[in-house]
Amino acid sequence: MFGDRYELLQRLGAGGMARVYLARDTVLGRTVAIKVLHSELDENEEVRARFLREARIFARLKHPHIVDIYDVVTTPEGAAAMVMEYVEGTDLHRVLSSNPRLVPELAALVIRPLADALHYAHREGVVHRDVKPANVLLGRDGSVKLSDFGIAKASEEDLLTRTGDFLGTPAYIAPEQARGDAIGPAADQYALGVVLFEMVTGKRPFAGPNTLAVLTKIMAGEYPDPRELNAAVDDDLAAIIARTLSLEAADRFPDLGAMVTALERYHITVNADRQRGLIAGLVDDPNGTADVVAGEVANDLITTARRAAAQGDKRNARKSAHAALARKPDLEAAHALLRTLDQPTVDLMPPATGGTTTTSTGTVGAGRRGPVVVGVALALTALIGVGITVLLRTRPPGSTGVPAVAQPAIAEPPPAADQGATARTVGAAPDAAPAPDAAPPPDAAPPDAAAPPDAAPPRVAARPKPARRAPADAPPKPAPKPAPKPEPPPAPVAAATAPGTLAIAAAPWADVYVDGKHRGRTPYLKQLTLPPGAHQLELRNPGFPPHKESVTVKSGETVTRRVRLGSRPR
């Protein structure tokens, strides 16, 4: 029994400074959590003072998403103990252990109340300094609570720590905190960005075999692009993460209220009860809840994709369909829509009076005429043209079946050859193939209406065999002209046009464009080989204004550009 009113029920867990028990308040009849300082630390006056200061900070913070504190007591052995609100459920660290990667919209449901709680604490002059998944409590009632202000710092109080002591969890601390500089609310924002990155990718942005390796990466600002780890992370969410993880505190959101506003677009459109139900589902069935949310979001994206497709906006239709598949890879509706969007539609014949429209995949409307019908029609047209040509060539002298003035136009070879090619393109019948052979050879003279009648039969009788041999015999006839040999440029000119190198370093990361062409993304892209001369360099990160400048590359030299987005190049 603690303080003559708190009955211990069971031990819940332990941390570096204290152990936590489940207890019952015999006076008010409610369940509470009691945090008891380790006995070996309780004898340390500095640690005890820090523990009691946490109690004072907790007591002054009253927010629905911050664990409440009820009382401070001492154990029968004299150790300090803190009586707190009991959240029945689990913590975010355990949720991520069973389901490492959450749907972005579901992650936003968890992150937003935490950002709101921290924004409130900052206005009260308190910086948490140890934001991490283990300090985020998720209740079976759908609540989200921030706990453990054990190393929080109140702005009006001196830091209770020895010089050189390191406070905080390395993977979640801000660069300024790693350097030992003065920290403020921006450090909590950075840590919350690390948590968000971990929730949507299943990995921490900064990892290494030891603390030193992790701190080195944090201070360098090098981390993978979340979009490459999870295709469901879109550009807008990547921009939020990039801004919170900016190397310099001044480049992050001005406060967490601004981050809350940016996160609102990722909330699933549900009422408060539904939102609490989804959070509660993460406690008992993280995988099932994530799958449900993924399905809901994917269906909404498919609706958006279909609406865009109906409006003829294929680009956004494909984008929304692919976003749906990033959440539900087996969603058949998305696959079907993409198959429809990827099918080219070509009007091979104008619609008939009956409303028939022919496409590359068949015919829509009456008649059911497909591309084979079109091919046969074109082939017959070609054969008719060839037949007329032969008829005109072989008509007896004095025949008046076709006016003589029409002979040159009908006997001209190009129309017959074009029609034959068209018939092959759309799948003409095999008997259309000889159409090109019926044309006269290139060196044949066109028929002359004024020529003597007895001159026409010999030319007609001699044409069939040369016409068939002409394609095979044609290549040897013209004497090939040797191509002029290019003269190699003199050595001095080649040396003057040797390429140069452009080395690029951008923080936090950027898509690199040179002369309008995308060349890669930092930090993966380190340098580019470019021809000498002036080039237009553009760095793009959705969280910052684009950086543009002209860079002059010299032959055989390396030009280095180090850019911190949001500022001038350095």
Q: Residue 31: phi, psi to the nearest 5?
A: -85, 135
348, 352, 366 from 355: Cα distances, Å? 14, 5, 7
Spot the catalytic one: 25, 130, 188, 511: 130
Please report where in the chains the tokens 């300094």 appear, as a residue.
Answer: 129
Q: Which residues pair with 24 in a beta bridge?
A: 7, 31
Identify the CA nearest to 445 among candidates 487, 472, 421, 411.
411
Helix (H) or strand (E) holding 452: none
Backbone angles phi, psi at 119, to 5 degrees: -60, -40
DSSP secondary structure letters along 209-247: SSHHHHHHHHHHT----HHHH-TT--HHHHHHHHHHT-S
Q: Give whole-number Cα distances, 460 to 235, 398, 466, in Å.
A: 72, 17, 11
Burial of 403 (0-12, 13-18, 19+ CB in 10 A): exposed
Tally the C-alpha atoms within 13 A of residue 387's C-alpha that lie toward its C-beta.
7
Please give the Cα distance from 455 to 434 (Å, whole number).
Answer: 26
Can you tell me whether residue 459 is helix, strand or coil?
helix
130 part of the active site: yes
Alpha carbon dihedral 204, 124, 147, 259, in 10-degree steps, equals: -30
β-pair type (362-364, 357-359): antiparallel
159 Cα distance to chain centroid: 42
Distances (CA, A) of 427 to 35, 230, 372, 418, 420: 82, 45, 6, 14, 11
Q: Is residue 132 within 8 Å of 172, Cβ to Cβ?
A: yes
E strand intervals along 441-526:
500-507, 510-514, 517-522
SS3 sequence of 493-513: HHHHCCCEEEEEEEECCEEEE
User: Could you identify the residue written with the tokens 């016409």?
Assistant: 467
Q: Which helix (H) or strand (E) holds 14?
A: strand 6-14
Please answer whether residues 58 and 82 qualify as being in contact, where contact means their C-beta atoms are separated by less than 8 angstroms.
Answer: yes
Q: Report the distance separating Cα 148 and Cα 130, nearest Å.
A: 8
Look at residues 81, 59, 74 and name the one whose alpha carbon lies nearest to residue 152: 59
Nearest C-alpha neighbor of 140 from the set 283, 290, 286, 287: 283
The catalytic residues are 130
